[in-house]
Structure formats: C-alpha cells, structure tokens
Chains A and B, each alone.
Chain A
Amino acid sequence: MNHLLSWIIWLPIIGMVAIAFVPRDKSELIKQIAAAVSGIQLLLAIYLWQIFDASNGTFQFMERAEWIPSFNITYILGVDGLSLPMVFLMALIGFIGVFVSWNINKAVKGYFSLFLLLNTGVMGVFLALDFFLFYIFWEVMLLPMYFLIGMWGGPQREYAAIKFFIYTLAGSVLMLIAILALYFTCGNTFDMLVLMETAPTALNGMLWWGMSAIKVIWVLLFIGFAIKVPVFPFHTWLPLAHVEAPTAISVILAGVLLKLGVYGILRINYTMLPDGVFWFAGALAVLGLINVIWGAMCALAQKDLKKLVAYSSVNHMGYTLLGMAAVIAAAGMNGDNLISAQAGVGGAVFQMFNHGTISAMLFILVGVIYDRAHHRDIEGFGGLASQMPVYTAFVAVAFFAGLGLPGFSGFVSEAMIFIGAFPIFKTIVIISTLGILLNAAYFLWAFQRMFFGPANEKYNDLPEINKRELFTVIPLAVITLILGVYPRPFLDLVAATLNVLIESVVSFGGLAAASM
C-alpha cells in the first residue's frame, strides 16, 4: 500500500470529520466511529510491522512531497526501528483508550474529536522527518490535551490543564529557536535526513557568546524534550496533570506522550549533535539517577493511588535516560564497548515501550477502582482481595510488572539498562539499583494496604471488573508477559536501527569534543 504512513497519521482526522457530522445526542455512534477508526489504525500499524524490514537500519516507507518550497519545507515521512514500536504503541493505546473512555457521557462529541486529533499529533511526531512538520505535530498535541484535561478532568482540572499547557509550550518554543538555528547554520533545510548528515560537522567550532553552538542547541532541544519526559526538575506538571486527567487521557499521557521526549532526544539530539552527547552523557546519567530516586521517594509518600502511579512514571523514565547515556561506551576513548552501548540504548527503547504498556495498565486499573469507589485513597480500602478477586489479580500483575519482577518485560529492559550503563557509570548504576528496591517498596506497600488486611465493609458490594475493562487490560498484560519471557522479537526489531544510531554518534562524536 502506498502512503501507508500518511494513512496512519491522517486516519483519525477522517474519523474526526465523520464525527463532526453525527448529531450530538448519538453518543453510541460517535464512540463506535472512534473505535472503528482506531481499530483500522491499529491494523495498519500491525501490517506495517509485518512488512517492515528489521534487518535494515535506515528509514523505510519514505514519503516526500513539496510543501512550501520557498522556505525549503517538505512533507517527509519515514519509519525506522526506533519509531515503529512507538507507532505501534500509540495505535494500541489509542485503540484501548477509546474503550477506556466508553463511559464518558459529557460532551461525547467533543471528547472523541479531540481524542482523535491528539492521536494524529502523536503519530505525526513519530513519523515526521521534516523539522517543520515535526514541530507542527508536536504543537498540535497541546490544544486537545488542554481541553481533554481541562474539560473532562477532576476537581483541579483547570489549573492542571493550564500548567501542562504553559510548561510544554515553554519547552517547545525553545525547541523552535533551536530548529531555526539549525536551519540557518546547516544549509537552509528542515530535512532531518540532511541535517543528520550536515549538522554534526557544520557546527564544529562555532561560538555563540563564547559558548559552543553545539552546546547551546543541545540545551535548547534538551529542555524542550526534558519537559515532556519529564526530567527532574521539569516534572512538576506531571503528577498534577495525571491526577486530574480522565483515565483514558492519563493512559495516553503516560503510555505514549512521555515517550515523545525520549524519542526526540534519540532522534534529534543524538543524530544531529553527537558531540553534545559526549558532553552531556554524564549529566544525562545523573538526571536519570535523580529521576529514579526522586520519583520512587515521592511515590512512596503518596496516599492517592493515581499520584503514586504518576510518580512511578517519573521513576521509570529515569531508567531510560540512564540507558541512553550508555551510548558513549562504544567510543574509542571508553574502550570500544559496543555491547554495552547496544544494551544501554536498546534497553532504553525497550523500557520506553514497556513503560507504555505497564503504565497504561496501571492507570486503567486505577480508573476501574475510581469509577466504583469514587476515590483513590490507598488507606481508604482494605481487603479488596476478597471483594474483587479478579481485579486484584490484574492489579498484582500490573504492580509486579511495574516493580520489575523477572518474568515481566520491565525486568528485561531495566536489566539491559543496568548492564549497559555499568561499565561507564558504575556509581550511578549502583545507586540507582536502590530505585528498584524503592519501587518494590511502594508498589508492595500500596498493594498490601489496599488488598490485604481487614475488609472495608463499605465496599462489600463493589462490582467486579467488567468485560469492557478486562478487554482493555488483557492485551497489555499479555504483551508484558510475552515480552518478559521472550523479548527477542522486539529487540530484533530495533537492533539494526540502533546500531546505525550508535555508529553515527560514535563516529562523529568526540571529534570536536576538544574544540567545544
């Protein structure tokens, strides 16, 4: 099929237009359209996975069209081993998200229109290979997110929504400066493929107010992406946005949107500013460590289950930063340790995907209990295991996956990250394994308080998790379990691309380090 990537991106918009013509009182039909569109999108993503050539580390299914020739803006799409898992993840979470949102009954038309628009924005970011296009998709996500949190969220929704909006906009305008600076210094082009070739050398030795241009652009881009990840200290919007957002939006936010930041760093900072990678790797590892420990400590202190899960995201995204930093192990000065770099970066990408499935599962399950009990206070439950046994079983799966128990996919990726990062960042890795311990502590402690002990009489009649909710959780649990036991398919999928990435970082990087 030609234009497969365009179809994946623009399908939700078609659904949005279709929804626009449905009368507002036919909410069932609106939901069905949203489900159908996301379903087709998921099938296309699976099809894309099937025909994708994993042994080829370059971009595939490229699309290229003239757009604004006077400013060298082109419509370029392409997929590689880094973006494919993210596309699949978004399609999956987007499809599941429709069913998680099934009991939305307030302004259904608006909700699903915005939901689909968000989907297009995210897909666009993962597939765009023109910087201008990338930026447009990046910003298109903001407005739907603002409305989805602000209109369908919890009691503090207005504050949470504006905080999210301002934080992310602040990050992305810095990115805009960096994009324009790259445009004018690297040959007047927004074509990311060209920039990946020209930028690493074009910026060498360039000084701006006494600072290396590479460092300036790196920092501008990094802040933009770090806010999305979120990297400490830019993480304060996240717990608030998560807690106030409706369940499905928390699922998308944690499941996919946080990955955009890491994806951006790998796709742009790593390929275009390889020298910056060497300069920043240590800081990246330290930031990762802070995220791990800080996130875990905060999670430990929470009484609200959703906030606990939100902070666990801060913790989990910390591991990816640590893994990414390990790329420099492959450099000559660090002993040509290609295996470490592969394990670290591969682990980071795998961790992104795993966090996508696991945190989505966690948020769905938080939503399930919130819909029934209308609160999320961990202390307010007790002995739920006897009242909702099936639900308890799924929460157990999700919690164990979250704390990185062997047998679940999270364990594999975290182990890879530690193995990869250990040769270079020994102390940091040793301290961050403490995070694993803290992980176990907050998850198990919360589990114990909610599900064991004396049963809370109030909740004796709580209905068991229903079929629709099971339908949303089971696919995620299955993926987590399969990849936990047999991660090969995923790792094979990304390996070729990541080798190209590592190769390019190492071959360019460090050359100009002296002149920086």
Chain B
Amino acid sequence: MSNLNSLTHFWPELILTVTVLVAIIADLIYRKEDSFKVAWWVLGGLALTLFAVRMSGGALSGLFMGTIAMDPFANFFKVLVLISTTFVILMSFDSADLKGYRVGEYFSILAIMAFGLFLMASAIDVIMVYLAIEIVSIMSFFLAGYLKKNQSSNEASLKYVIYGAFSSGIMLYGLSLLFGLTGTTKFFEMREAIAQLGPDANLALILSAVFILVGFGYKISAVPFHFWTPDVYEGSPTTITAYLSVAPKAAGFAMLIRFFNQVFGDGAPLGSDAWTALNNVPWPQLVAVLAAATMTVGNLVAIQQSSVKRMLAYSSIAHAGYMMMALPLMTQSGVYGIMIYLLMYLFMNLGAFYVVIYVQGKIGGESFDDYNGLGWRMPFVAGVMTLFMVALTGLPPTAGFIGKFYIFAAVIEAGSQYYWLAFVGVVNSVISLYYYIRVVKHMYLSGDRSDSISMPTSNLTTVILIALAIPTFVFGWYFSDVADWIHNSLVIFQGM
C-alpha cells in the first residue's frame, strides 16, 4: 500500500504525533511551576489514541510499502503501551524525583516513546524494526537521565547509552547479514528467500539469528544481556523505572515473536512449529536454557537487595524469564501465555512501583527498613502493596497466578521434554516468595505497632491504586473475557 493511502489507516500513530506536538507547544506556554499541566494534554491524546486503536479492526496488508502491519496482535500491544503510559503519567504527579524540574518535555518524550513502541509492535521490515528500536532507546536514554542534578540518574543514562548502542550495533550487524543473504528487508520475502538458501549459508544464517537475538534479549533484559538493567532501573526516576520494566518489555516480546515467527518460522499462523529455517540448531533448547538462566539469576540476585526499588528491578528480570519459558516452541498457547502474562504483569508491577514512588515521596527512602510499620501508618497503601506482592509471587486468587498458570500450561502442553523448565519455573516462584513477602514482613511484622493512621492518602493516589489493584485482584478469578480478547488478538498478519 502506498504511503499516502497508508496514512488513512494510521490514525492511532497520527493522533500520538499530534499529541507530542501539542505537548511541546503547551510546555512553551505554561510556566515552570505549572508544567505538570502538560500531562493532561498528553493524557487526552492517549485517550483519543486508545479510541482509535479500538476502532481499527481486522488485519490490514502492509502499510507504507509493506513495512508496517496493522493487525489485532499489534493492537493488543498498543493497548498495553497506552495503559502503561497513562498510568506512568498519572504516577508522575506523586514522584518526589521530579519535584523542581520542568516536566513538560518529560511528558512529550513519554508520548514519543509510546509512538516508538507502537512501531515496534507492528514493524514487519527490518529497517522499520531498527528505526522503532532506536526511537524507543533514545527516548529511554533521555528519560533515564532526566534528573540532571542527580548523579545516579546521569550514570544510568550513560550506561544505558553505551549498552544500548552496543547491542543495537550487534543487532544491526545481524540484520545486515540477513539482508546480504536474502536481498530484501521485508519479513515475508526474507522467509521465502531463506527457504531457497543452500546449506552453505547456514553459518551466516545462524550468526545473524544469534546477533538479532542479542538485540531482542537486550530489550527484554534476558540473561546474559541484562547487565544494564539494575543500574539503569535504580538510577532512573522511579516512574521511568516502572515504565521501562513494562512497556518496552512488552513491545520487545511483540517484536521478537513476530520476527522469529515470520522470518525463521515456517510462515504458518502461530501454532505450528516455528524455527523451521534453523532446524539444524537446537533453538528451542537454547531459548529454554536462556529462560531458565534469566529467571534464576534475576531471582537469586533480587534476594540480596536491600532496596525495594532495586529488588523490583531484578525481579523484573525474573519475570522476563517466566515469559521466555513459553517462547521455545512458539506455539499458539505459548504466545497466548506471554500475552496474558504481560497484561497481568503490567498492573501488578506498575502498582508495586507506584507504591515505591509514593513511599519515597512520603517517607523519603526506598530501602526495606523504610517500610517498617507501614501497615499501621498507611493501612490502605500497605494493603494494596501486599496484594501486588502476592500477585507478583504468583499466588491465587490474583492476576499474577493467572499469568503464571497460562505460562506453565503452555510449557507443560509442549510435552514432557520441557517439564524440567516448568520445574525450574515453579522453584523460582517459591524463591521469589521469599523476597516479595519480605516487603510484607517489613510492613506488618516489623516496626512500631500503632493503631493510628498518621498519613492519609490523597484522592489521586487512592484512585490510581484502586485502578491498579482492581484488575490485579479481579483478573485472578475472573479472566474469561480478557482471555477471549487476547485469544482474538492472536492474529498475526500473514503474507503481503
């Protein structure tokens, strides 16, 4: 489809672009102390975008000369991105980090990042893949270093830049190898070209797949490409940490699934065996080992943390590992499990980070000891935090259990050769209980026990917390409609 024609189907992204422009102009008009008002313009734009996403139904052929797909699969991830962006913007009002900064830009950068994530979820051309990743990465560097007076924020940004540049360089190299082999940049044409390749191209093909996997692994912070995660997560403003732990990860999974299914897969709809082009390398086993390593490393290091924020950073690595468990076979139920997990994870993880932001603002710290006696000082916040911790552990009846349930179901369904992976997964769940429940322990079992409520919560805080807690709880026992919605989103645009 030609560029001009494509624009008529590109409403969500166009609205986002206008939102960015409006935010930048609004930032020029507001005075510094009013700059938080920019957020409302962005929120309005996001609401319109959400509406546009919901309106666009069905799978459309490749937009912009076959570089962008508009399908239910992409729309699902766009909805995830919009929900998380909205919550992160709302959470920013309570952020102690951002006090004293001009924040108009901050909100417009968030909107640009959402735009980049949209592209990540829908790219079907390797050039577009790279562009989308770079838009998201550069915006993340800005946001991680947004606190220019804060040394660790600067450090986070710099580390992020170095790691990001390095890994996207490697990925670009992989993509260029692939282009050299196939002579095209489009996913489907690539697959057809790969099918024609002789066995002597195997080495180059495998190298390129490995390099590309490095790039994706960096985006979803899979072990051993995770080393940037804790420092960046710790140094960034906590709102951005929350955002980075959810939205880019979701988009990274979307891109990874789409790329490997359509380029190296057999091109059939999700559900049959993927990786057929690479079947002389034990890919499923390799990815399974990466998944096991990711969750184990994330969990074992999370145990040792003394800061709740850093603990959540490491645990987000572990969560990426749980999701990767469902990747090896690329079966329909595996992808389905990842999508359900991402949705559930979004609410509980944003909720946990929001409590960290809130406690940081009220008490001034983020170590475990700062949570002592929180159950008595802020019963509501502590109660909700308990729910998020229980959900992140994966105990029923919370959303976290449903996410894990679908993931484990996919692994078990794949056959007995993957039972070991399920076993590693459940053992990791038990390990994670130890550090998640530690937060609960500090809130309720340690510290002064006074029955007075000394710190009432503000209205906005209450609304955000409830808005995050309700799905976290309700999806734990009623998820039929959500499951159906995600099931219908499993349609990946196939062919030209």
Q: Mark A residues whose CB is within 8 Å of B.
A: 24, 67-71, 106-107, 135-136, 139-140, 142-143, 146-147, 150-151, 157-158, 161-162, 165-166, 169-170, 173-174, 176-177, 180-181, 183-184, 208-209, 213, 216
Stretch at the interface among B61-69, B82-90, B243-251, B425-433: B425-433
In the complex, whether B289 has a CB less than 8 A from a CB of chain A is no
| Residue of B with least CB distance to A146 | B437
A146 to B433: give the CA distance in the assembly, Å.
12
Taking a contact as CB atoms under 8 Å apart, the answer to whether A150 and B444 are in contact is yes
A173-B396 CB under 8 A given contacts A68-B480, A208-B416: no
A176-B408 CB under 8 A given contacts A70-B484, A140-B396: yes
Nearest Cβ on chain A to B234's Cβ, whole angstroms: 26
Residues of chain A contacted by B416 (CB below 8 angstroms): 208-209, 213
Taking a contact as CB atoms under 8 Å apart, the answer to whether B397 and A140 are in contact is yes
Residues of chain B contacted by A107 (CB below 8 angstroms): 449, 451
Which listed residue, B408, B423, B434, B445, touches A151 by the CB 8 Å rule?
Answer: B445
Nearest Cβ on chain B to A371's Cβ, whole angstroms: 21
A135-B396, A162-B434, A166-B433 provided; 8 other pairs, C-beta below 8 A? A146-B437, A166-B430, A173-B429, A176-B408, A180-B422, A183-B412, A209-B419, A213-B416
B398-442 interface (Cβ within 8 A of A): 401, 405, 408-409, 412-413, 416, 419, 422-423, 426-427, 429-430, 433-434, 437, 440-441
Residues of chain B contacted by A142 (CB below 8 angstroms): 395
A142 to B422: give the CA distance in the assembly, Å.
22
Taking a contact as CB atoms under 8 Å apart, the answer to whether A177 and B434 are in contact is no
In the complex, whether B479 has a CB less than 8 A from a CB of chain A is yes
Taking a contact as CB atoms under 8 Å apart, the answer to whether A143 and B390 are in contact is yes
A444 to B427: give the CA distance in the assembly, Å.
43
Residues of chain A contacted by B40 (CB below 8 angstroms): none
Residues of chain B contacted by A177 (CB below 8 angstroms): 408, 412, 419, 422-423, 426
A150 to B446: give the CA distance in the assembly, Å.
10
Residues of chain B contacted by A71 (CB below 8 angstroms): 409, 483
Residues of chain B contacted by A150 (CB below 8 angstroms): 441, 444-445
A162 to B303: give the CA distance in the assembly, Å.
14
A454 to B153: give the CA distance in the assembly, Å.
72
Nearest Cβ on chain B to A143's Cβ, whole angstroms: 6
A78 to B401: give the CA distance in the assembly, Å.
25
Taking a contact as CB atoms under 8 Å apart, the answer to whether A147 and B409 are in contact is no
Taking a contact as CB atoms under 8 Å apart, the answer to whether A208 and B426 are in contact is no
Taking a contact as CB atoms under 8 Å apart, the answer to whether B430 and A147 are in contact is no
| Residue of B with least CB distance to A70 | B483
A147-B426 CB under 8 A given contacts A71-B483, A136-B396, A140-B396: no
A-B contact pairs, 25 of them (CB 8 A): A67-B480, A68-B480, A68-B483, A70-B483, A71-B409, A71-B483, A107-B449, A136-B477, A139-B395, A139-B401, A140-B396, A146-B437, A150-B444, A151-B444, A161-B445, A162-B434, A166-B434, A169-B395, A169-B429, A169-B430, A170-B427, A176-B426, A177-B419, A184-B413, A208-B416
Nearest Cβ on chain A to B444's Cβ, whole angstroms: 6
| Residue of B with least CB distance to A174 | B426
Taking a contact as CB atoms under 8 Å apart, the answer to whether B412 and A180 are in contact is yes
Residues of chain B contacted by A162 (CB below 8 angstroms): 434, 437, 441
Nearest Cβ on chain B to A446's Cβ, whole angstroms: 32
Which listed residue, B396, B401, B405, B430, touches A170 by the CB 8 Å rule?
Answer: B430
Taking a contact as CB atoms under 8 Å apart, the answer to whether B441 and A106 are in contact is no
Residues of chain B contacted by A170 (CB below 8 angstroms): 427, 430
B479-496 interface (Cβ within 8 A of A): 479-480, 483-484, 487
Nearest Cβ on chain B to A207's Cβ, whole angstroms: 8
Residues of chain A contacted by B441 (CB below 8 angstroms): 150, 158, 162
Task: Please list the 8 inter-chain residue pairs (A to B) with the smallest Cβ-Cβ separation, ordered nearest first.
Answer: A173-B426, A208-B416, A180-B412, A136-B396, A170-B430, A139-B396, A68-B480, A184-B413
Which listed residue, A70, A161, A176, A184, touches B487 by the CB 8 Å rule?
Answer: A70
A333 to B275: give the CA distance in the assembly, Å.
52
A136-B430 CB under 8 A given contacts A70-B484, A177-B419: no
| Residue of A with least CB distance to B387 | A143
Residues of chain A contacted by B419 (CB below 8 angstroms): 177, 181, 208-209, 216
Nearest Cβ on chain B to A255's Cβ, whole angstroms: 24
Residues of chain B contacted by A180 (CB below 8 angstroms): 408-409, 412-413, 422
Residues of chain A contacted by B412 (CB below 8 angstroms): 177, 180-181, 183-184
A425 to B220: give the CA distance in the assembly, Å.
57
Residues of chain A contacted by B479 (CB below 8 angstroms): 68
A42 to B353: give the CA distance in the assembly, Å.
43
A183 to B437: give the CA distance in the assembly, Å.
30
| Residue of B with least CB distance to A143 | B390
A184 to B405: give the CA distance in the assembly, Å.
13
B186-225 interface (Cβ within 8 A of A): none
Residues of chain B contacted by A139 (CB below 8 angstroms): 395-396, 401
Residues of chain A contacted by B445 (CB below 8 angstroms): 150-151, 157-158, 161
| Residue of A with least CB distance to B477 | A136
A148 to B184: give the CA distance in the assembly, Å.
64
Q: Which of B397, B405, B429, B451 has the most CB of A within 10 A?
A: B405
Nearest Cβ on chain A to B427's Cβ, whole angstroms: 8
| Residue of B with least CB distance to A208 | B416
**Mask: chain B, 36-70; 1 = CB below 8 Å from A; 0 = not:** 00000000000000000000000000000000000
Residues of chain A contacted by B434 (CB below 8 angstroms): 162, 166
Nearest Cβ on chain B to A362's Cβ, whole angstroms: 27
A183 to B422: give the CA distance in the assembly, Å.
15
A136-B397 CB under 8 A given contacts A166-B430, A166-B433, A183-B409: yes
Taking a contact as CB atoms under 8 Å apart, the answer to whether B480 and A165 are in contact is no
A158 to B372: give the CA distance in the assembly, Å.
14
| Residue of B with least CB distance to A170 | B430
A107 to B449: give the CA distance in the assembly, Å.
9
Residues of chain A contacted by B451 (CB below 8 angstroms): 24, 107
| Residue of B with least CB distance to A177 | B422
Nearest Cβ on chain B to A75's Cβ, whole angstroms: 10
A106 to B477: give the CA distance in the assembly, Å.
32
Nearest Cβ on chain B to A209's Cβ, whole angstroms: 7
**Mask: chain B, 304-327; 1 = CB below 8 Å from A; 0 = not:** 000000000000000000000000
Which listed residue, A165, A176, A213, touches B437 by the CB 8 Å rule?
Answer: A165
B453-496 interface (Cβ within 8 A of A): 477, 479-480, 483-484, 487
Residues of chain A contacted by B483 (CB below 8 angstroms): 68, 70-71
Nearest Cβ on chain A to B488's Cβ, whole angstroms: 11
Residues of chain A contacted by B423 (CB below 8 angstroms): 177
| Residue of B with least CB distance to A180 | B412
Nearest Cβ on chain B to A180's Cβ, whole angstroms: 4
A216 to B395: give the CA distance in the assembly, Å.
24
Taking a contact as CB atoms under 8 Å apart, the answer to whether A147 and B444 are in contact is yes
A146 to B405: give the CA distance in the assembly, Å.
23
Nearest Cβ on chain B to A136's Cβ, whole angstroms: 4
Residues of chain B contacted by A24 (CB below 8 angstroms): 451
Nearest Cβ on chain A to B437's Cβ, whole angstroms: 6
A515 to B479: give the CA distance in the assembly, Å.
41
Residues of chain B contacted by A174 (CB below 8 angstroms): 426
Nearest Cβ on chain A to B343's Cβ, whole angstroms: 15
Nearest Cβ on chain B to A116's Cβ, whole angstroms: 16
A216 to B416: give the CA distance in the assembly, Å.
11
| Residue of B with least CB distance to A211 | B416
A181 to B479: give the CA distance in the assembly, Å.
22
| Residue of A with least CB distance to B386 | A143
Which listed residue, A70, A147, A181, A183, touches B480 by the CB 8 Å rule?
Answer: A70
Q: Which of B427, B434, B444 has the most CB of A within 10 A?
A: B444
Residues of chain B contacted by A157 (CB below 8 angstroms): 445
Nearest Cβ on chain A to B478's Cβ, whole angstroms: 8
Residues of chain B contacted by A165 (CB below 8 angstroms): 433, 437
A70 to B444: give the CA distance in the assembly, Å.
39
Residues of chain A contacted by B487 (CB below 8 angstroms): 70
Nearest Cβ on chain B to A482's Cβ, whole angstroms: 39
Taking a contact as CB atoms under 8 Å apart, the answer to whether B397 and A173 are in contact is no
| Residue of B with least CB distance to A136 | B396
A162 to B396: give the CA distance in the assembly, Å.
18
